[in-house]
Amino acid sequence: MDQMVESVVAFIRAHEAWGPPIVFALAFGESLAFISLLLPATVMLWGVGALIGASGLDFWPFWLAAAIGAALGDWVSYWLGYHYHQQIAGLWPLSRHPDLLPRAHELFEKWGAPGVFIGRFFGPLRAVVPLAAGAAQMPRGPFQAANWLSAFVWAATTLGPGAFGVAWLRD
3-state secondary structure 29-59: HHHCCCHHHCCCHHHHHHHHHHHHHHHCCCH
Model pLDDT, residue 111: 84
User: Cα 157 to chain center, whole Å?
Assistant: 12
Model pLDDT, residue 15: 78
Work out the average pLDDT over 2-16. 72
CA distances from 64 to 21, 29, 70, 128 (A): 10, 16, 10, 23
If you write DSSP's letter for every residue of 69-118 in order, what string do you get? HHHHHHHHHHHHHHHSHHHHTTSTTGGG-TTHHHHHHHHHHHH-HHHHHH
pLDDT in tens, 124-146: 677 788 988 998 889 999 999 99
CA distances from 23 to 99, 131, 140, 158 (A): 34, 22, 26, 11
Distance CA 100, CA 123 (A): 17
Q: Where are the domains of the chain?
A: 2-170
pLDDT band for 37, please (50, 70, 90 cuts): low
Most confident by average pLDDT, 27-31, 48-52, 71-75, 137-141: 71-75
Work out the mean pLDDT of the chain and round it to a whole number.
84
pLDDT in tens, 83-137: 987 787 777 767 777 777 677 777 777 888 998 998 888 776 777 889 889 988 8
- Please give the model's pTM, rounded to 2 decimal places: 0.84
Model pLDDT, residue 2: 63
